[in-house]
Amino acid sequence: MRCSVIALPVLAAATSVVARAPSPGEDGKYTISSKGIKAQFIPYGATLTNLFVKDKNGEDVDVVLGYDDLDYYPVDKGHPVYNSIPGRYVNRIGKGTYTINNTTYITELNDGTNTLHSGTNNWSYRVWNVTDLTEDSITFSVYDASNSSRGMLGDVEGEVTYSVKGSTWNIKMNAKSLDEKTPLMLTQHTYFNLDAYKNPDTVKIWNHTLYMPYSQRYLVADDGALPTGEIGTAAPLSINDFASQPDLYLGHAQNDPRFAGNCGGGGACEGYNGYFLIDDAPKDAVVVSLASAFSGIKADLRTDQPGVVIYSCNWMDGTPDLKSTQGTAENRKVVRSSCVAIEAQDYVDGINHPEWGRLDKQISGPGQKYSWESSWTFGNL
């Protein structure tokens, strides 16, 4: 007995050496790769900084937005939640309030009259822990103490694992609330430009095609991109239609007078910043296909989520720098409407719309397990 007690500290020390957090490469990034993909990450926001996939000529193209300067992510005033994990409750909470079991909670108004991405202590602003690293996968974890996102009570543990296999990038998240019922809803918030801003004719996203065969329905939103409660159905070729045919450009409705204000902002938000429902998709079906003829790259999304937010980068104002892997001598900045964020998630503000039947999915408590899974498969046109 005595002997084993004495031996314990030695064992513990040995274990802690083995379990030491993995270190990044000399460039400060964690790199994972497979035959078709190289993906790089940083702990800040569990952020994907670079994603190299093959274009139609077999060349590597970095298809996601980001910065070369890793120190810039935390100080970037625009903070577009570049390819990170916002949480614990993604997207908007209408009027900064929600109710669980007859108790009303007040959250922080950081987006006009609403809460966006859980307010100013959101997960995309935290330095996550790296808990596992292999050649083709990395796991980050976050511990979110009660009320550190104001108005969201109970401690929450979250984890994301990114892995690559062949030409597919997989993303799996798990989370649990340890001691209270709390809002819990996550997404992976990646911004794409499949031409890496190298198309000399246009850096705008409008010439990418978008196909969402199961997403005829969408949440109608007000001027602040908050769902009104109404669910719309897009008629073929109308402004919010990306379901009726596979080759519709993201800019197919550019000549529609409503396009200039289709995502609110007092009529100043052009394009898209809204939620499309995924209805009756067979298991493992491709639910979103984004493609560009210039690079010949096609990106196919599969997800276990019931919908997806499409945001066409209206609020990018031309100040953010492009990475050195992107752009041309002339194109060095992220200009308006030059990218698209595609975010698989549950119904936006479903916590305030019991009529949608999402409360069980968006509120989680002790003993329950939240999970989220998506993948992107890259190919050529």
Ligand X SMILES: *[C@@H]1O[C@H](CO)[C@@H](O)[C@H](O)[C@H]1NC(C)=O
121 binds ligand X (CB under 6 A): yes
Helix intervals (H) in 19-127: 72-75
Is-contact 191 82, C-beta < 8 A?
yes
Q: Does 244 sit near ligand X (CB under 6 A)?
A: no
Nearest to 293 by CA among 247, 233, 231: 247
Using rule CB under 6 A, residue 312 touches ligand X: no
**Of 36 and 119, which has the nearer Cβ to ligand X?**
119
Nearer to ligand X, 86 or 227 (CB): 86
Binders of ligand X among residues 76 to 105 (CB under 6 A) are 79, 101-102
Establish if 344 lies at the interface with ligand X (CB under 6 A).
no
Alpha carbon distance 343, 170 (integer Å): 14
Which of these ranges, 54-62, 143-151, 209-217, 227-235, lies near ligand X under the rule CB under 6 A? 143-151
What one-character-per-residue DSSP string does 301-322 give? EEESSSEEEEE--TT--S-SBP
Answer yes or no: are the C-beta atoms of 119 and 150 closer than 8 Å: yes
Residue 189 within binding range of ligand X, rule CB under 6 A: no
Toward ligand X, which CB reaches closer, 104 or 324? 104
Minimum Å gap between C-beta 102 and ligand X is: 4
254 contacts ligand X (rule: CB under 6 A): no
Residue 189 annotated in active site: yes
Structure tokens at 18: 């083995």
Binding mask 191-230 for ligand X (x = CB under 6 A): ----------xx----x-----------------------
147 touches ligand X by CB under 6 A: yes
Q: Which residues are 114's β-sheet partners? A: 111
**Is 79 an active-site residue?**
no
Q: Please, what is the minimum distance in Å from the beta carbon of residue 17 to ligand X?
A: 16
The set of residues, in sequence order, having a beta carbon less than 8 Å from that of 142 and lying 6+ positions away, is: 46, 85, 87, 123, 126, 128, 129, 157, 158, 159
Q: In the set 88, 117, 176, 353, which binds ligand X (CB under 6 A)?
A: 117
For residue 8, give the H/E element and its range: helix 2-18
Q: Nearest approach, Cβ of 80 to ligand X (angstroms)? A: 9
SS3 content of the chain, % helix, strand, coil (to 5): 10, 35, 50
The Cα–Cα gap between 79 and 217 comes to 30
Binding site for ligand X (CB under 6 A): 79, 101-102, 110, 116-117, 119-122, 125-129, 142-143, 147, 150, 153, 181, 201-202, 207, 365
Q: Which residues are catalytic?
A: 189, 343
